[in-house]
Chain A
Amino acid sequence: GAVVSQHPSRVICKSGTSVKIECRSLDFQATTMFWYRQFPKQSLMLMATSNEGSKATYEQGVEKDKFLINHASLTLSTLTVTSAHPEDSSFYICSARGVGIREKLFFGSGTQLSVL
């Protein structure tokens, strides 16, 4: 099956710094990637949708200047948490839709962000 690699799996940073999370489709081209956030014992909440070569579409309530998303190629999308604060601590998961594969999304393994 299709593989989505997400790195890092865990990151600890100081408050005020920026953190970049990468989501790569390893064996397929991903025209669309999705970023989710999951708080402990809660569900996945869609943050934004990124399409290759265009600006990301953010869900209501998600600050686009804080969560910068770049989808510069068909195999890579990045999420940068800028000026991170403790309340940004969460589990972030990406998923990808392959070209011609409309009915499936493939998930990365997630990134646990802890902001001190």
Chain B
Amino acid sequence: SQTIHQWPATLVQPVGSPLSLECTVEGTSNPNLYWYRQAAGRGLQLLFYSVGIGQISSEVPQNLSASRPQDRQFILSSKKLLLSDSGFYLCAWRNRDRGEQYFGPGTRLTVT
């Protein structure tokens, strides 16, 4: 069966510090991968998606970036965090032969 991991689960970082969030998927190959953010009490905002190694599409221009160095690894980064980057970050994968997405457990980021 497939599983998706995210780490860390929670993170508190000062403004201006760098960020690296990691997501890995097990039990599938060549998935589509997605990064979402949820601000407090808000819906899902799609940040980035990837259809293959090194292929990244950005949905929202901002100080975040994403990379996919391996087939089942997706990384979200920032060089300098802003207060507005606080939120709940969710990674998801999707098998291209099926319709649904599967989500990871999320990372709660608080920028202070």
Partners in one complex: no
